[in-house]
Chain A
Amino acid sequence: MARAVPVSAARTGARARWQVRWRKWRSGYLFVLPSMLMFLVFLFGPVLWSLLLAFQDASLTQREWIGLDNFVGLADDRVFRKALVNTLIYTAITVPVHLLVSLILAGMMKPLAARWQTFFRAAYYLPAVTSVVILATVWRWMFNPRFGVFNQLLDLGAVPWLARPNLALWAVIISAALTIPAAGVVMYSAAMGSIPADLYEAAGLEGAGAVRQWWDITVPLLKPTTLYLVVMYTIWAFEVFERVYIMTGGGPAYATTTIVQLIYDTGFRDWQYGVASAQAIVLFVLVGTAAAIQFRYFRSDVEY
């Protein structure tokens, strides 16, 4: 029969254990404290505040609790629906294209000598360290109907890519798709380097060709990297803003308006911080749902 432990003794024991643990780990806690404080104050705090604002009629100086009205309003908002569809189309096309391009380029780099791999990794990473504003400005020139390289190269005549509602979103998507996905190339390249060579040797002995090896060995074993990239690219695609803002300003006729641009306009132009927060919450739910689905399908227990 178990002996009952007095409450005061149990408390003393718990305190002692806590003290032991604290003595053992306190330096660790102190080291992460500044980072955690920054996270709480500058990230978690604003996110929480945004969540609260989504249920309020909030302007620059005034606030009133209105429950779900902001979300109900979004359902009836034609511009929001248009922005949502634009963002989904942009994401649905650019994410797979970026993954595929990353995979192909990394695969092409794999057989190269180490110094060439380093060279190409650096070259492909250049767009990542170049401001999106500059890239978008260049793309804007490239799509100029009269002197832009795009029409000239393809001999298309004066197609006004950015000025026609039925073309503008595609022009933005093309500009994004044709920008080398730097992070993907570098990460896939690094991940490919860590796949054991004997797997390829065994497959070769069994008669598998290069394509078969790539498809049956490389691609499946890159699943952890693919998961990370697909989640990150999806988040980045949902958050597209500068590229659209510079290339089209969201026009013509809302043809390229995206959710983040709408959040920016609603918050900072219109001072409707409650509505903007509700839009941000919808975006958060979308991104979260997409990430959950991606985790479900790309999760892998094998890692190299």
Chain B
Amino acid sequence: MSLTRRRAVQMLAATPVAALAARGGMVDARQDTTPVASPVSLSYTGTLNWYQFGYTPGGESVASQLADQAVAAFQERHPSITVNIVGVPFEGGQQTLDTSLAAGGTDAPDIFRIASDRLVKYVDEGLAAAIDPYLTEADLEDIYPNVLAGVEVDGQHWAWPLWVPPVAVYLNPELFEAKGLELPGDDWTYDEFRQAAQQLTGDINGTQVYGFSSAIQPDIINVWAFLYADGGRVLTEDGSAYTFDSPEAVSGLQKLADLALTDSVTPPEFGNQMLADIVAAFKDQRSLAMYLGASGDIGTYRAEDIPFEVRPIPIGAAGEHVTVGGLGTFAIRQQDDADRLAAAMAFGKFLTSAEVAEAVPGYYLAPPARRSVQMPEDNPAMQKFVDMVSYTQLMPQTPVWGQVSAAVNAQIQAAVTGALSPEEALELAGEEIAPLLEEADA
């Protein structure tokens, strides 16, 4: 492979050590042993564009306020840099982000939030820059290994891991109490979970309560936790082959289908119930005793003083704690301006560091990707999620992840509504996915 002079200069300039040495700056980032995000001075003077989902100027939402405070803290450390936050809506904002990235130019995003399972597409398109030249030894020790692996494509790392929202079970303690049931321990099994769901289903204080529900939508993987808990895995580790048709995965899906079709502990609309409806049933109507969710709901329940408890996914046939989760990251746009790229990398690192957690109280809304981040002690539910990070299974990297997720969830819907047997459903998903993976591999 030939290395052009321009590319060589880019690579040299992209390495903080080399770039700083050339300017008389002075820190060998690889020798740095502390996980502090911004130990180096940056030579870039100008603006960085941060495309942030759901951001509205003026701090109308908590997330927007946190973003503003994080930017203020970064700019205080680097006065020559101005961060311009561009708010993009959750609905339809992805297209805005993608087209802005593809268009490039000075107004294009320098840094943007992306779930790790979509990262490989940006890497393939040359839109994301590798973070390896900016990863210090301290970073490598600080970031959970399974989390760092979640941003690895072809041996390189392509985004700064921010947080990991594992899937867990939310419980309504009032409904447990009303039925005279003790809250389960963290090591509960599937059988204990099933028994609790059966006992919780029925009339409680005049309300028809259902023991369990969960969203099954094209891009939501929450119920996959049952399949993983029995030892199933959706794809091989390298993302090249479909494996959810294994007996382990079928066993997990059978359990999920049984909850709906045999035990009738799920609401009638289970299978196509929207996440918002599930949360409303849990907190407003109090008609749902348990559901699968990530850590994002904690903030809502604490703010509204809703009683809730969090437990790990019940231990399944695999015999150990397993759950699934997403990985929120900050990716940096690949660009020719080495100084600007270095500044964006420093900002990405800052936004995923312990330093930002100290500067902005309450910054982390999900379990952080780094060990060094101290979470507030007054949030035991969040601590439960933090404890799950070490055994959370992140989704494998494949450019056709969107199709894989949609195909599997469509057939899970078919299985839990009785249209297909679990075995047929997972085989059918495989028939749809196999050619996609082959094409992606080719």
Tell yes or no: A269 within 8 A of B by CB. yes
Q: Closest residue of chain A to B121, judged by CB? A: A271
Evaluate contact between A79 and B432: CB separation under 8 angstroms.
yes
Tell yes or no: B273 within 8 A of A by CB. yes
Evaluate contact between B403 and A252: CB separation under 8 angstroms.
no
When A and B form their complex, what is the total count of cross-chain residue pairs whose Cβ atoms lie within 8 Å?
94
Instruction: Tell me the complex Cα distance, A78–B434, Å.
Output: 13
Instruction: Tell me the complex Cα distance, A252–B414, Å.
Output: 7
In the complex, which residues of chain A have a beta carbon less than 8 angstroms from the beta carbon of B409?
251
Interface centre among B126, B208, B271, B409 (most CB of A within 10 A): B271
Checking B102, B270, B272, B413 against A60 with a beta-carbon cut-off of 8 angstroms, the contacting residue is B102
In chain B, positions 108-142 with a C-beta closer than 8 Å to chain A are 121, 124-127
In the complex, which residues of chain B have a beta carbon less than 8 angstroms from the beta carbon of A158?
268
Interface string of B76-110 (1 = CB under 8 A from A): 00000000000000000011001001100000000
Checking A60, A62, A79, A251 against B217 with a beta-carbon cut-off of 8 angstroms, the contacting residue is A251
Q: Closest residue of chain B to A247, judged by CB? A: B272
Checking A59, A166, A248, A268 against B272 with a beta-carbon cut-off of 8 angstroms, the contacting residue is A248
Q: How large is the interface on A (under 10, 10 to 19, 20 to 34, 35 or more residues)?
A: 20 to 34
Count residues of B near A (Cβ-Cβ below 8 Å): 37
Instruction: Tell me the complex Cα distance, A168–B272, Å.
Output: 10
Evaluate contact between B417 and A271: CB separation under 8 angstroms.
no
Q: Closest residue of chain A to B271, judged by CB? A: A163
Evaluate contact between B102 and A61: CB separation under 8 angstroms.
yes
Evaluate contact between A268 and B94: CB separation under 8 angstroms.
yes
Instruction: Tell me the complex Cα distance, A5–B173, Å.
Output: 101
Interface centre among B127, B419, B431 (most CB of A within 10 A): B419
In the complex, which residues of chain A have a beta carbon less than 8 angstroms from the beta carbon of B413?
165, 251-253
In the complex, which residues of chain A have a beta carbon less than 8 angstroms from the beta carbon of B98?
60, 268, 271
Interface string of A133-150 (1 = CB under 8 A from B): 000000000001110000
CB proximity of B347 to chain A, nearest CB, Å = 24
Instruction: Tell me the complex Cα distance, A248–B411, Å.
Output: 15
In chain B, positions 386-419 with a C-beta closer than 8 Å to chain A are 400, 402-403, 406-407, 409-411, 413-414, 417, 419
Tell yes or no: A224 within 8 A of B by CB. no
Evaluate contact between A146 and B267: CB separation under 8 angstroms.
yes
Instruction: Tell me the complex Cα distance, A172–B218, Å.
Output: 19
Tell yes or no: A270 within 8 A of B by CB. yes
Evaluate contact between B268 and A160: CB separation under 8 angstroms.
yes
Q: Closest residue of chain A to B124, judged by CB? A: A59
In the complex, which residues of chain B have a beta carbon less than 8 angstroms from the beta carbon of A163?
268-273, 417
Instruction: Tell me the complex Cα distance, A163–B125, Å.
Output: 37
Instruction: Tell me the complex Cα distance, A276–B127, Å.
Output: 21
In the complex, which residues of chain A have a beta carbon less than 8 angstroms from the beta carbon of B410?
251-254
Interface centre among A78, A248, A253 (most CB of B within 10 A): A253
In the complex, which residues of chain A have a beta carbon less than 8 angstroms from the beta carbon of B400?
270
In the complex, which residues of chain B have a beta carbon less than 8 angstroms from the beta carbon of A62?
125
Interface centre among A79, A165, A166, A251 (most CB of B within 10 A): A251
In the complex, which residues of chain A have a beta carbon less than 8 angstroms from the beta carbon of B432?
78-79
Evaluate contact between B402 and A61: CB separation under 8 angstroms.
no
Instruction: Tell me the complex Cα distance, A6–B272, Å.
Output: 78
CB proximity of B373 to chain A, nearest CB, Å = 32
Interface string of B418-434 (1 = CB under 8 A from A): 01100000000001100
Interface string of A252-275 (1 = CB under 8 A from B): 111000000000010011110000
Interface centre among A158, A250, A252, A254 (most CB of B within 10 A): A252
In chain A, positions 240-254 with a C-beta closer than 8 Å to chain B are 248-254
Instruction: Tell me the complex Cα distance, A78–B432, Å.
Output: 8
Evaluate contact between B121 and A162: CB separation under 8 angstroms.
no
Instruction: Tell me the complex Cα distance, A205–B289, Å.
Output: 73
In the complex, which residues of chain B have a beta carbon less than 8 angstroms from the beta carbon of A269?
402, 406
CB proximity of B213 to chain A, nearest CB, Å = 11
Q: Closest residue of chain A to B94, judged by CB? A: A268
Q: Closest residue of chain A to B273, judged by CB? A: A163
Instruction: Tell me the complex Cα distance, A164–B415, Å.
Output: 11
Interface string of B263-277 (1 = CB under 8 A from A): 000011111111000
In chain B, positions 259-303 with a C-beta closer than 8 Å to chain A are 267-274
In the complex, which residues of chain B have a beta carbon less than 8 angstroms from the beta carbon of A60?
98, 101-102, 121, 125, 127
Instruction: Tell me the complex Cα distance, A254–B429, Å.
Output: 12
Evaluate contact between A145 and B268: CB separation under 8 angstroms.
yes
Contacts A165-B417, A251-B410, A253-B410 given; indicate if A61 touches B273 (C-beta within 8 A): no
Q: Closest residue of chain B to A76, judged by CB? A: B435
Evaluate contact between B414 and A253: CB separation under 8 angstroms.
yes
Instruction: Tell me the complex Cα distance, A265–B419, Å.
Output: 24
Evaluate contact between A146 and B268: CB separation under 8 angstroms.
yes
CB proximity of B210 to chain A, nearest CB, Å = 9
Instruction: Tell me the complex Cα distance, A251–B406, Å.
Output: 10
Evaluate contact between B419 and A253: CB separation under 8 angstroms.
yes
Instruction: Tell me the complex Cα distance, A168–B411, Å.
Output: 15
Interface string of A71-94 (1 = CB under 8 A from B): 000000011000000000000000
Q: Closest residue of chain A to B215, judged by CB? A: A249
CB proximity of A85 to chain B, nearest CB, Å = 15
Interface string of B236-250 (1 = CB under 8 A from A): 000000000000000
Instruction: Tell me the complex Cα distance, A266–B45, Å.
Output: 40
Instruction: Tell me the complex Cα distance, A62–B269, Å.
Output: 42
Instruction: Tell me the complex Cα distance, A269–B432, Å.
Output: 17
Evaluate contact between B208 and A61: CB separation under 8 angstroms.
no
Q: Closest residue of chain A to B210, judged by CB? A: A146
In the complex, which residues of chain A have a beta carbon less than 8 angstroms from the beta carbon of B414?
165, 252-253
Evaluate contact between B125 and A144: CB separation under 8 angstroms.
no
Instruction: Tell me the complex Cα distance, A119–B200, Å.
Output: 52
In chain A, positions 39-67 with a C-beta closer than 8 Å to chain B are 59-62
Instruction: Tell me the complex Cα distance, A79–B402, Å.
Output: 14
Contacts A146-B267, A163-B268, A265-B218 supplied; 17 other A-B pairs, CB < 8 Å: A59-B124, A61-B102, A61-B125, A78-B432, A79-B432, A145-B267, A145-B268, A160-B272, A164-B417, A165-B413, A165-B419, A248-B272, A252-B216, A252-B272, A253-B414, A253-B419, A268-B94
Please name the 4 residue pairs, one residue from A and one from B, whose CB atoms are nearest each other, closest first.
Answer: A252-B413, A253-B414, A145-B268, A163-B272
Contact residues of A with B, CB < 8 Å? Answer: 59-62, 78-79, 144-146, 158-160, 162-166, 168, 248-254, 265, 268-271
Instruction: Name 6 interchain pairs, CB-CB below 8 A, sorted by A.
Output: A61-B127, A79-B407, A159-B268, A160-B271, A165-B419, A252-B216
